[in-house]
Amino acid sequence: MYVNIPLIEDEPMTSPCPSHCSRPSRVLRRALLPMMVASTLAAPAQAADLLTIAQDALQNNAQLASARSRTGSVEAGRDVEQADLLPQVSASGNLSHNRQYEAQSVPGQPQGDDNVNQFGITLEATQALFNAIDSRQVERTERQIDQQLYSLAATEQGVLINVSTAYFEILRAHEVLEARRAQERAINRQLEQAREQFDVGLIAITEVEEAKAAFDQARAIRIAAESDLQVRFEALERLTGQRYASIDALGEELAIAAPVPADRSAWVERAMQNNPQVLASQAGIEVSRSAVEIARAGHLPQVNAFANYNYADNDADGIEGHDSSSQVGVGVSMPLYTGGRTSATVRQNTYLLESSQYDFEDQRRSTIQKVRSSYTRVTNDVSTVEARAQAVVSNQSALDATRAGYEVGTRNIVDVLNAEQNLYNAVADLASARYDYVIDLLTLRQQAGTLDEEALAEVNAWLGAESIDFQLPGAGELDAVMNIGERPTP
């Protein structure tokens, strides 16, 4: 299904029924956003589209950059744990000056103080032959890396959905703003005509005041819509660290269709296989299981091969040459009793394993519920957009009929103002329904774990040739993207 956002033409109320009253399709022949934008905002030569902004966010988003650095830290931890299984070589040396004071004497030997310089060096090498604790710590690090990579993927998808939502919220706010501006202009003309009719004595002052109150209300709503648009632009700036003078708008026609596959169970199954939060939680079970195995390894012996060399020399009187020794062997250590620490550590980590299993079940249930809800919202959005489009047609016809009744005296100005408000509310509701569909569809893909740049490229193709232009105050405040100071060097 393709849905056009109708263009509401402001008609002067100089005739009982405009020429298009019997042909509403002529009033609804063009989209509101592209036409309003072309007449009110100056588009730059080239606006940023959704895919471009998403790529900027993947490069500059601070939360994602932090997750990448955290992933690098976890990967470096693997080398830390593996180092304990590799040969360990150390060298130590000493140089000392010793002064000996002698108060006793031995017949036939020289008496007096003695100064001795000593020098020694030791080389030692060890190699783990069997160390279950260190081996299983390496295995745990591998599983932690898997978990962190899933968490990183979840963060990337979170950034993509946040950017997409912020992008389409800007377009939504802009369409709503244009509808409110059109409403304000229409009611303002109604107010001007009411004043003219009052001046010639055709209506009472009450109708003028009614029109004035409606105009003031429309003006307040329009001001709030302008503020909302500015806030939406700033939200996008926070995610990307950049400012955009203009962005591409949604095309005149948007294909509104049920998600494919059109089966909620299929989306749930896809989420169980691809959702990175589910996979990260599942990987967390393996991390906890590794902790249990590490604790149990505390009962096992450790076997190490070793070799060392020692050299010593001094210049004491009557001593010539130096001393040296070397040793090669295998050492075994076996914990016999540690006060119950090892067994307690096993119990402690077993409870943590059980906790991680419950965490996984909670994440699984939560994801299933979110996928089902997202699927339901998307399917409902399809019907909602169609109903909102028909509501615009009906409200336009109702407004035309009310205007005609007002001209012949069967309706009052309050009826006309209410019909005006109903029509523009319907236009704003239709715009919101279209963007609800797009955002909910992307959210469904995120929950299914299939939201990536390729998926955004498909949505990006829905954007049209028109763009909206907006300048935020305080330009230049974020000139330094990702300015975290001097970056550390590994």
Is the Cβ–Cβ distance between 451 and 50 less than 8 Å? no
Residues 412-441 have pLDDT tens digits of: 888 999 999 999 999 999 999 999 999 999
485, pLDDT greater than 70? no
For the question of whether the overall pTM of this predicted structure is more than 0.85, the answer is no
Fold of 2-10+26-85+131-300+337-468: Outer membrane efflux proteins (OEP) (1.20.1600)
Q: What is the pLDDT of residue 172?
A: 93
Query: What region, left, alpha or beta, does residue 431 occupy, with left being phi > 0 and alpha being psi -120 to 50 degrees?
Result: alpha
CA-only gyration radius of the chain, Å:
39
What pLDDT is attached to residue 19?
37
156/64 Cα distance (integer angstroms): 6
- Quick: pLDDT tens for 286-338: 999 999 999 999 999 999 999 999 999 887 766 667 889 999 999 999 999 98
Task: For the chain, report the end-to-end CA distance as a whole number of angstroms.
Answer: 55
Q: Residue 474 above 70 pLDDT? A: no
Could you give the 3-state DSSP secondary structure of residue 122? Answer: strand
Vertex 299: Cα angle to 296 and 301 (nearest 5): 125
Please give the mean pLDDT across all residues of the chain: 85
Residue 388: which H helix or E strand, with range?
helix 341-408
Domain boundaries, the chain: 2-10+26-85+131-300+337-468
The owner of tokens 């400012």 is: 243
d(CA 422, CA 398) in angstroms, rounded, equals: 9
Strands 302-314 and 88-100: unpaired
Stretch 228-254: mean pLDDT = 86
Question: Model confidence at 112, in pLDDT bands (50, 70, 90)?
Answer: low
Contact, 162 vs 237, CB < 8 A?
Answer: no
Cα 28 to Cα 392: distance, rounded to the nearest angstrom: 9
Give the integer Cα–Cα distance in Å for 459 and 394.
30
